[in-house]
A and B are shown apart, each in its own frame.
Chain A
Amino acid sequence: MADVLFQKVRKAFGSAVAVKSLDLAIGSGEFVSLLGPSGCGKTTTLRMLAGLEFPTEGEIRIGDRVVNAVPPGQRDIAMVFQSYALYPHMSVAENIAYPLKKRGIGRAERDAKVASVAATLQLGALLDRKPRQLSGGQQQRVALGRALVRDPKVFLLDEPLSNLDAKLRAHMRAELIELHRKLGKTFIYVTHDQLEAMTMSDRVAVMHEGDLQQFGAPMQVYEKPANLFVAGFIGSPAMNLLAGVLEPSGSGLAFVRQGLRLAVGDGGQAGQKVTLGVRPEDIALGSGPFVATVRIVEPTGHETIVIADIGGQSAIVRVQPDTAYAVGSETPFAVRTSRLHAFDSVTGARLDLAFALPAS
């Protein structure tokens, strides 16, 4: 059963449309990330769910209740803000206890719950401190504590890790995954960081310009991007997108662009403009029917990124660090045809084409 449901939700601020027409069903206990670049509508979506913004059109449900007109405090949700939004004049204990206090829960029960949350998040020693006396990571934990203490149905997290340094972020990522597993509650997580979305989520909702582009499991989004935007957005380094055209070739079709020619099994029409998507790890340098010119070599230790010129366009190739490539040299290469993606260059939609290397 869906725990959170968006039905034809639209949000406009004056003439600016933040969310166009969103349909999204999030299951109970799921960890869902709303992923997209800034201005894609992900934060607005979360804020509408929190009750901090109201949809212009459409319906939002939490559980079996339509919450469009329900104030934030009565929605059975908790939110962790990007800035943490800890109450600066209250101690850590008071911050965590505040939502309980506002719900008229007695002192003894409050203290017990704060103690239990503090134990979960290892905040025990900090309970008497003020937020400004805490490090970013500790503040983050307190913000989580304030959300946890109420035991809400849905947790909303608005880029909660973006103010932390890289090492702490990786650590908190693991803690959040752990926490989600322990609580079994629905988590909705807004981020522009695909690494966070991919590693933590059960499903990722990729958004762009107010539209939901794709909603699926991380690996599904990675391996079968629904359109050109998702293909270019998910994956780091990004997928190489090579524009070409389908031409008749023998009895079938071939994808043709400068420096590249692939046989197309079925689907597509002659003359159709097609963009070929190749992940950096799916280009094999060293042997093959095509030729690339090495432009830049970037060793990172565990792998080497080679930027090579393929028919006038630079492409990113991920290679093993043990092979040396001389800048300026020409090297033959092949592509893994089973892992190629094709998109209609005009509509951006994914095409299901099967490719094969040309017979040599």
Chain B
Amino acid sequence: MSGNPLDKRYAVLGAMLIAPTVLVFCAVIVYPLVSALYLSLFTIFTPTLRGSFVGLGNYAYLVNSPEFWRSLWNTLLWTICTLALQIVFGVAAALMLHQNIVFRSLARSLILFPYFVSTVVAVLVWRWLFNDLYGVMNHLMLMAGLIKMPLDWLGSMPNAMISIILVGAWKYFPFVVIAVLARLQTIPDALYEAAKIDGAGAWSRFVDITLPQLRDVLVVVVLLRAIWDFKEFDLIYLLTGGGPIIATQTLPLMVYKDAFGLNDMGRASAVAVSMMLVMLSFMVLYLKLAGRDERESQR
């Protein structure tokens, strides 16, 4: 930079404009992060927040804890399955809503409904639908002859896992619809017309034009939804509470149980930190893959 006094004043102004963001970032991100790392090195009784230093003891315990590995596996299974369903149904619904169908604007608003409904309300409705004594699901499936005996949707495995995955997909696929629909509307019609003239059928036009055009938005959507699904707490907690036993317990539920059920804030922090590490490694891997594709497509 030159010695121009105006440049210096702009530099000071710039720093001042960034400062609030940096401060807020430190207060809400850096401090809790550091504090979680710090707490995870102690055995802490939650009600008094007193305890003793145990070093990496909490982590050693987790490595040898089948419950931790089971919860990690549950988290990954839930995240991958529910995310896959969200993407498939989200893209399909967006494609449908992009067509000139009757009641298009009404359908567009209605499809967002699951996303707007509060999780508690949605889960109560689903628990009612899934109920093994008077639930509508069992009633309908019995009537259709699909099952001979009522199913225990939430209290046995693998039904409970399947149920939370389905409800998760139902609740969050509208997010994918919004993002994909917005992108679909910006794809120029001329591309489809050119492809028609070039002899591409409907499926070819989808694969050769729509999907590549959706790539960028899908990268972002997958990234965001993966983070959010990995951290999902309320939906699972309210639907199954992690049960039966710990069959649907994901890492966020384990954090909650350790911190407030077992009153061990230190171990809960260790689980939370491990969660962060898992997520971090997946994000790095994912962004690398996405970035590589992007570079390849730009070459």
- Residues in chain A within 8 A of chain B (CB atoms): 50-52, 71-74, 77-79, 81-83, 85-89, 98-99, 102-103, 128, 130, 146
Taken together as a complex, chains A and B put the C-alpha atoms of A51 and B197 apart, in Å, by 8
Minimum distance in angstroms from A99 CB to a CB of chain B:
4
B298 at the interface (CB under 8 A from A): yes
B197 touches A72 (CB 8 A): yes
B198 touches A98 (CB 8 A): yes
Would you mind naming 11 contact pairs between A and B with Cβ atoms under 8 Å apart? Answer: A51-B196, A52-B196, A72-B196, A72-B197, A74-B199, A78-B197, A83-B188, A85-B191, A88-B191, A88-B212, A89-B297
Which residues does chain B contribute within 8 Å of A81, judged by CB atoms? 190, 193-194
- 8 additional A-B pairs beyond A85-B191, A87-B208, beta carbons within 8 Å, are A50-B193, A72-B196, A72-B197, A73-B196, A73-B197, A79-B193, A83-B190, A102-B198
Which residues does chain A contribute within 8 Å of B200, judged by CB atoms? 73, 98, 102
Minimum distance in angstroms from A201 CB to a CB of chain B:
22
Question: Given A87-B208, A89-B212, A73–B297 Cβ distance below 8 Å?
Answer: no
Question: Given A89-B213, A89-B297, A102-B204, A73–B190 Cβ distance below 8 Å?
Answer: no
Question: Given A83-B190, A89-B297, A130-B297, A99–B196 Cβ distance below 8 Å?
Answer: no
Q: Which of B208, B215, B297 contacts A98 (CB 8 A)?
A: B208
Minimum distance in angstroms from A120 CB to a CB of chain B:
19
Which residues does chain A contribute within 8 Å of B195, judged by CB atoms? 87, 98, 102
Most-contacted residue by chain A among B190, B196, B198 (CB, 10 A): B198
Which residues does chain A contribute within 8 Å of B299, judged by CB atoms? 128
Minimum distance in angstroms from A151 CB to a CB of chain B:
13
Question: Given A74-B199, A102-B200, A130–B191 Cβ distance below 8 Å?
Answer: no
B209 at the interface (CB under 8 A from A): yes
Residue of B nearest to A103 (CB): B199
Taken together as a complex, chains A and B put the C-alpha atoms of A72 and B193 apart, in Å, by 9
Taken together as a complex, chains A and B put the C-alpha atoms of A51 and B195 apart, in Å, by 12
Which parts of B177-200 form the interface with A (CB within 8 Å)? 188, 190-191, 193-200
A87 touches B199 (CB 8 A): no
Minimum distance in angstroms from B160 CB to a CB of chain A:
42
In the complex, per-residue mask of B202-239: 1 if CB is within 8 Å of any chain A CB, else 0:
00100011001101000000000000000000000000
Residue of A nearest to B299 (CB): A128
B194 touches A85 (CB 8 A): yes
Which residues does chain B contribute within 8 Å of A73, judged by CB atoms? 196-201
Most-contacted residue by chain B among A52, A79, A85, A88 (CB, 10 A): A85
Which residues does chain B contribute within 8 Å of A130, judged by CB atoms? 297-298
Minimum distance in angstroms from A109 CB to a CB of chain B:
15
Most-contacted residue by chain A among B191, B197, B198 (CB, 10 A): B197
Q: Which of A51, A74, A79, A103 contacts B194 (CB 8 A)?
A: A79
In the complex, per-residue mask of B277-299: 1 if CB is within 8 Å of any chain A CB, else 0:
00000000000000000000111
Residue of A nearest to B191 (CB): A85
- Residues in chain B within 8 A of chain A (CB atoms): 188, 190-191, 193-201, 204, 208-209, 212-213, 215, 297-299
Minimum distance in angstroms from B286 CB to a CB of chain A:
20
Q: 5 nearest interchain CB pairs?
A: A73-B199, A85-B190, A99-B198, A85-B194, A102-B199
Which residues does chain A contribute within 8 Å of B212, judged by CB atoms? 87-89
Which residues does chain B contribute within 8 Å of A82, judged by CB atoms? 190
Taken together as a complex, chains A and B put the C-alpha atoms of A128 and B299 apart, in Å, by 8
B196 touches A85 (CB 8 A): no
B209 touches A99 (CB 8 A): no
Residue of A nearest to B298 (CB): A130
Taken together as a complex, chains A and B put the C-alpha atoms of A149 and B103 apart, in Å, by 43
Taken together as a complex, chains A and B put the C-alpha atoms of A98 and B298 apart, in Å, by 19
Residue of A nearest to B212 (CB): A89
Taken together as a complex, chains A and B put the C-alpha atoms of A82 and B190 apart, in Å, by 9
Minimum distance in angstroms from A40 CB to a CB of chain B:
20
Q: Which of A77, A83, A86, A88 contacts B197 (CB 8 A)?
A: A77
Question: Given A102-B198, A102-B204, A85–B193 Cβ distance below 8 Å?
Answer: yes
Which residues does chain A contribute within 8 Å of B209, judged by CB atoms? 87
Which residues does chain A contribute within 8 Å of B208, judged by CB atoms? 87, 98
Taken together as a complex, chains A and B put the C-alpha atoms of A50 and B213 apart, in Å, by 24
Taken together as a complex, chains A and B put the C-alpha atoms of A52 and B299 apart, in Å, by 33
Which residues does chain B contribute within 8 Å of A128, judged by CB atoms? 299
Which residues does chain A contribute within 8 Å of B213, judged by CB atoms? 88-89
Taken together as a complex, chains A and B put the C-alpha atoms of A77 and B196 apart, in Å, by 11
Minimum distance in angstroms from A288 CB to a CB of chain B:
54
Which residues does chain A contribute within 8 Å of B298, judged by CB atoms? 130
Minimum distance in angstroms from A59 CB to a CB of chain B:
21
Most-contacted residue by chain A among B194, B195, B196 (CB, 10 A): B194
Residue of A nearest to B197 (CB): A72
B197 touches A79 (CB 8 A): yes
A52 touches B198 (CB 8 A): no
Residue of A nearest to B204 (CB): A102
Which residues does chain B contribute within 8 Å of A50, judged by CB atoms? 193, 197
Which residues does chain B contribute within 8 Å of A102, judged by CB atoms? 195, 198-200, 204
Taken together as a complex, chains A and B put the C-alpha atoms of A146 and B197 apart, in Å, by 11
Taken together as a complex, chains A and B put the C-alpha atoms of A83 and B297 apart, in Å, by 22
Minimum distance in angstroms from B213 CB to a CB of chain A:
7
Minimum distance in angstroms from B292 CB to a CB of chain A:
15
Which residues does chain A contribute within 8 Å of B204, judged by CB atoms? 102
Minimum distance in angstroms from B275 CB to a CB of chain A:
36
Residue of A nearest to B215 (CB): A89
Taken together as a complex, chains A and B put the C-alpha atoms of A98 and B209 apart, in Å, by 12
Taken together as a complex, chains A and B put the C-alpha atoms of A48 and B26 apart, in Å, by 62
Q: Which of B188, B199, B297 contacts A85 (CB 8 A)?
A: B188
Taken together as a complex, chains A and B put the C-alpha atoms of A80 and B67 apart, in Å, by 63
Which residues does chain A contribute within 8 Å of B190, judged by CB atoms? 81-83, 85
Minimum distance in angstroms from A351 CB to a CB of chain B:
44
